[in-house]
Amino acid sequence: MEVLKTIADVRRVRREVTGSLALVPTMGALHQGHLSLMNLAREKAEKVMFYIFVNPTQFNNPDDLKNYPRDIERDISLLREKGVDYVFTPDVDVIYAGNMGTKVIPCSLGEVMEGPNRPGHFQGVCTVLNIFFNLVRPDFAVFGEKDYQQMRIVEEMVKDLRMDLEIVRAPISREESGLARSSRNELLSMEERGKAKVISEALSLIKDMKAQGELKTEVLLRAGGQVLARVPELKPEYLTINSAVDLKEANGVLDRADYRVFFAGSLGKVRLIDNMGI
Ligand code: AMP
């Protein structure tokens, strides 16, 4: 496995790779969820590149950026063990030198849920992905449904800007308790980690109730909210049912099959998000 640090490194590798290349964008502190993206990348392409870059422009909270878990040595040895071909892990000034002006504005899918709660977040995501897509020119890029809204925004960006790459969707990888795997879970105490499982319990309850024929959003969300309320330390920001396609909020009676339920909230100092197809 080759570790790439500079733009010259990544350009050289891109010239050398003759077959297809899949890119897995991450912010590091890798876990099983990231490795499931790697497996999909392997199925799609001959060569697999991870990038590990904690992108400052997508953090709207300086403390969140400062406290974001980082363990680059461990990440690199994990990826080496798993047989990834390349890891691109540039310093911040390598990516942003000479480009502090041009920004990519996300489509209107960025105006709900995480959008108002994290101003500037999706603009930071879209801008940094453009930089990485231009440098790496991958044939495939793998994104997790864990960040479903991000994945949909990236799909639209690729379509709108006529980018020549295919976005591959990876299902959410969960711990045994049901908690969606996340680098941020490392910041939870053992006790909090146990409590965080109410999030997936609430989402699963909503899914099950809908499967049994309950279509009123108010009833579904009230039931989910009651499960969340079992952990008073959990401070929900939103629990909402939205179209899986245009992400518009569903209010009233669900009329089609294609919905997802989305959650964001904080447990102690850690902000958690999750979602589930219902
Ligand atoms: P991150 O390092 O958190 O920015 O995540 C990098 C990529 O991994 C994103 O596409 C995430 O959606 C994806 N990812 C993170 N956690 C999971 C998970 N538990 N299941 C599936 N994909 C995930």
- pLDDT tens per residue, range 88-112: 999 999 999 876 789 999 999 999 9
Task: Please tell me the distance from the alpha carbon of residue 110 to that of residue 27, in angstroms, as a whole number.
Answer: 20
* Counts for the chain of helices (H) and strands (E), in that order: 11, 9
Give the type of residue at 173. S
- Residue 212 has what DSSP assignment? T
The helix or strand, by DSSP H or E, that contains position 205, with its residue range, turns out to be: helix 197-211
Task: Please tell me the distance from the alpha carbon of residue 22 to that of residue 40, in angstroms, as a whole number.
Answer: 9
Q: Kindly list the protein residues whose Cβ atom lies closer than 6 A to any atom of ligand 1.
A: 26-27, 33-34, 36-37, 143-144, 146-147, 170, 172-173, 180-183
Decide if 128 contacts 122 (C-beta within 8 A).
no
- Output the pTM of the full model: 0.97
Task: Please tell me the distance from the alpha carbon of residue 53 to that of residue 90, in angstroms, as a whole number.
Answer: 7
24-52 pLDDT per residue, tens? 999 999 999 999 999 999 999 999 999 99
The torsion defined by the Cα of 242, 243, 248 and 254, in degrees rounded to 10, comes to -70
Decide if 49 contacts 23 (C-beta within 8 A).
yes
Pick the residue whose CA is nearest to atom 23 on ligand 1. 144
Residue 262, CA atoms < 13 Å, CB-side half-sphere: 23
Task: Please tell me the distance from the alpha carbon of residue 223 to that of residue 129, in angstroms, as a whole number.
Answer: 38
Position in ligand 1 atom list of the atom nearest CA 146: 12
Q: Is 121 a catalytic residue?
A: no
Three-state DSSP state, 144? strand
Tell me the pLDDT of the chain (278 aa) as tens digits.
999 999 999 999 999 999 999 999 999 999 999 999 999 999 999 999 999 999 999 999 999 999 999 999 999 999 999 999 999 999 999 999 876 789 999 999 999 999 999 999 999 999 999 999 999 999 999 999 999 999 999 999 999 999 999 999 999 999 999 999 999 999 999 999 999 999 999 999 999 999 999 999 999 999 999 999 999 999 999 999 999 999 999 999 999 779 999 999 999 999 999 999 99
Task: Please tell me the distance from the alpha carbon of residue 137 to that of residue 144, in angstroms, as a whole number.
Answer: 20
CB atoms < 10 A from the CB of 167, how many?
17
Decide if 94 contacts 7 (C-beta within 8 A).
yes
Decide if 199 contacts 271 (C-beta within 8 A).
no
Give the type of residue at 93. D
Q: Ligand 1 centroid vs 28 CA: distance in angstroms?
A: 10
